Amino acid sequence: MSRILPVLLICFGYACGAAERERVIEIKPGDDGKTPVGFRSALTGVGKPGRWEVALDEAPTAFPSVTGNAPPTSQQRVLAQLASDPTSEHYPLLIADSESFGDFTFTAKVKVVSGTVEQMGGLVFRLQDEKNYYAIRINTLNGNFRFYKVVGGERTAPVGPELPIARGVWHEIAVTCKGNQMQFFLDGREIMPAITDTSFSVGRVGFFTKADSVSYFTGARVSFTQREKLAEFLVRDTLQHHDRLKGLKIISTTSTNTAAHVVAASNPADIGKPAADEQKRCLQDGSVFYYKDGKIALVTMPLHDRNGDVVAAVQLAMESFPGQTQNNAVGRALLVVREMETRVPAQKELVE
């Protein structure tokens, strides 16, 4: 078999409703020896890293035949995890690092090809990192479907039904997450009762195997409702509830831009702009700044998370009034920011 690593291209389409998008992951040939663009290989447990490559296999066609005469399968490039490390606590992962999802359905076809110690293939979701995520998988050696979570690198006891699952056959597995509830499907049928868990509310998706399992994946897709960042929600909601506010900016950093910049604003043109000097100071040491421009009072002050750490700077543009002083302008702004702080658990949840 030729060793061609995949480039997994991500394409966008629109499903039922303006707020809902479907993301389709397609496997295309790439350059030998390179990690797929937008994805990274990782490992939970011990042993050697996984070997994620492209393989040619007889796989289900993407669309049903219009005439009914076309074959249901064809030779296609599929994603294959080919490492066969027999170490028991060995979980190779391939993680889509481009975006996190909150409410979604993640679906893929999986075929377990071989394995002596284990014969598994599955999906990871709401992944924070390789030590914190949810997972579902099929096991063709012992005949079962399981869900579990990994927290701090420790795996919980798997739960799910016992049932025969054929090796060397494509099976469609899927998970639907809505809030803290998860539903699980095998070959189009809900396979076990829904599970409620609050450990992870948002995260990335990916694929995994265990031990010496060689498994193939194809037809992966994520259908999801476009998620509004908490910072964007805070700007919109705060302006709706405070008539005298004429503008609002939240300044912070993100995992993809570590320089302080505007992450949310009432004026969309401001988003992404570098932080001004006083906004940087506010982020660094919690300084408060006041400036008056005609009938508008501008106050910049820190935004704290639930632990009391400064996670952002907020600039409020407020309608001024006769006799307004710096002290009462800052006092007005403080009341608004404290309302916002009650909704901010941490910096990551604010901006991503």
Residue with tokens 């060397």: 168
Whether residue 208 is predicted with pLDDT greater than 70 in this model: the reply is yes
Q: Strand order of the sheet with strand 261-265?
A: 261-265, 245-252, 310-319, 296-304, 289-293
pLDDT at residue 7 in the model: 41
Sketch the domain layout of the chain as residue ranges.
6-225, 230-351
Using CA atoms, how far apart are residues 162 and 141, in angstroms rounded to an integer? 11
pLDDT at residue 202 in the model: 87
**Which is nearest to 149 in space by CA: 134, 130, 132?**
134
- Read off the pLDDT of residues 106-125 as tens digits, 9 standing for 90 and up: 999 999 999 999 999 999 99
For residue 85, report the phi and psi dihedrals to the nearest 5 degrees: -70, 120
Q: Which two tokens stand for residue 219?
A: 């037809």
Is the separation of the CB atoms in 184 and 192 below 8 Å?
yes
Using CA atoms, how far apart are residues 173 and 175, in angstroms rounded to an integer? 7
CATH topology of domain 230-351: Beta-Lactamase (3.30.450)
CATH topology of domain 6-225: Jelly Rolls (2.60.120)
HSE, side-chain direction, 13 A CA sphere, residue 220: 26
Whether residue 147 is predicted with pLDDT greater than 60 in this model: the reply is yes
Q: Alpha-carbon Rg of the chain, whole angstroms?
A: 25
- Read off the pLDDT of residues 285-295 as tens digits, 9 standing for 90 and up: 999 999 998 88
Question: Which residues touch 103 (CB under 8 Å, ≥6 apart)?
Answer: 177, 178, 179, 224, 225, 227
pTM > 0.75: no
Whether residue 130 is predicted with pLDDT greater than 90 in this model: the reply is yes
Lowest mean pLDDT among 22-36, 86-100, 162-176: 22-36
pLDDT at residue 57 in the model: 87
pLDDT at residue 323 in the model: 82
**Angstrom distances, CA of residue 198 to CA of 159, 203, 214, 237:** 17, 13, 32, 25
Q: Which two tokens stand for residue 134?
A: 């949810």
Q: What is the residue-wise DSSP string for 12-76?
A: EEE-SSTTEEEEEEEEEE--TT-PPTTEEEEEEESSSPP-EEEEEEEEE-SS--SSS-S-SEEEE
